[in-house]
Amino acid sequence: MFASNTTFFLGLGGQTVLRAWLVFQLTGSELKLGLVSAAVAIPMLLVAPLGGAIADRIDRRTLVASGQAMVVVGETIILVLLLTDTLRFWHLLVMATVMGSAFPIMMPARQAIIANVVGRGRLSNAMALNMAAVNTTRVLGPAVAGFLIGAVGLKVAYSINVSLYVLALIGMFGVHSAPPPGNAADESLIKNMREGLRYVLEDRLVLVLLFFGLVPMFLVMPFQNLLVVFTEKIWKVGPEGLGIMSAAAGVGGLIGAILVAWRSESTRRLGMMMFAVCALSLFLVLFAISPWYWLALPMILIANVFAILYSALNNTAIQVLIPDELRGRVSSFLMMSFSLPLLGTLPVSAVAQVVGAPSAVAGAAVLAVLAAVAFYTFSPSLRQMNERLGEAMRE
């Protein structure tokens, strides 16, 4: 499972550069970068509750493999169109929608299956280890993809990336079956979805944590999809520069995941989360206003340390709190942490097209801090988070 996850996310890391480069070369439009991201995000939002309910009903390994197979088919079609010089922007929109539909099917199961393997007691460290592997691929994937575009061309680079998805799919067949716990399969799918929603609505802390994790990420994480605009329009450093920039963000994410694993037993998680979102926003503003590419690199690295620290602490807190028989359904709501930042790319990219990417990214970062402070100020449940987590981890 770990090998398959790593290979899959290595392909996903490379695709962030390849797809952004394709869209910008085809259109030259910041707004159309946002449209492709929205094409991924909207089906993720719509299908996520269904995917989570399914993850609590049938074998989780089967779901992960099925979702990865959808990705392989979609990316193979794009590759064929690219090799035959018939690729158009609308093709990318359609296949982005396919990927957005596949993610909600496999990602709740991918999250839930970790608990099947390690148990609740080791879940924090296991998720941090998985996050470390994911962020290692975020270093290697974009850097290698950017290098390959310049060295051997976009077509060869895309071919290599599709082969990584194929290897990840093959790897999943070596994973043991992971049937879901409980009796969810004995009830209707609609009832399963209602139970997941009811739990989230009734557990005020889980509900607040979901939104506390989503709103700042909605505002700040779209910067990742605008990196191609910074590297092409502002610093003019080409695909290699985009790959290095994306890799620097990945290095920061890796460091952030290691910090989470190191402090996994900390009783001051809320304070760490508030500090992380403030630091993230500060360094993102410094990145956005930097006049030099090489000065912006350490800024984006440090910003992503705090982005992953914030996101991992939030997601792990939710996973610790929820019961195992509802894990897949509640994990489906965590899909919003993937989809909403992508959806946030649309308004941020639209603003960027009018006032420029630096102003759009810096303004969104400031709004993220204000949102986090508002959550802390007006939510008593959030301020009691450390005590609830301590109780859950002692069970």
Given phi > 0 = left and psi -120 to 50 = alpha, else beta, which region is 29? beta
| pLDDT tens by residue, 267-303 | 677 888 899 999 999 999 999 999 999 999 999 999 9
Higher pLDDT, 280 or 117: 280
Residue whose entry in the numeric block shows the structure tokens 């290098």: 147
How long, in residues, is the chain?
395
315: domain CATH number?
A: 1.20.1250.20
pTM above 0.85, yes or no: no
Is the confidence at residue 380, as pLDDT, over 90? Answer: no
Is the confidence at residue 266, as pLDDT, over 70? Answer: no
The reported pLDDT for the residue numbered 382 is 86
Listed residue (130, 284, 137) closest to 216, CA to CA? 284
pLDDT > 70 in the chain, percent:
86
Q: Which domain holds residue 203?
A: 2-394
Rounded mean pLDDT, 140-156: 83
How many domains does the chain divide into? 1
| pLDDT tens by residue, 55-86 | 667 777 888 888 889 899 999 999 999 999 99
| pLDDT tens by residue, 196-211 | 778 778 888 888 888 8
Strands, E, within the chain: which ranges? none
Contacts of 110 (CB under 8 A, 6+ apart): 5, 60, 64
Q: In the predicted model, what is the mean pLDDT of the chain?
A: 82
HSE of 298 in the Cβ direction (CA atoms, 13 Å)? 2
Residue whose entry in the numeric block shows the structure tokens 């194929």: 166
Asked if residue 200 lies in contact with residue 318, where contact means CB atoms within 8 angstroms, the answer is: no
Report, in this order, helix, strand and coil percent for the chain, each rounded to 5. 90, 0, 10
Contacts of 290 (CB under 8 A, 6+ apart): 296, 299
DSSP-derived secondary structure for 258-314:
HHHHHTTT-S-HHHHHHHHHHHHHHHHHHHHH-SSHHHHHHHHHHHHHHHHHHHHHH
Rounded mean pLDDT, 113-142: 72
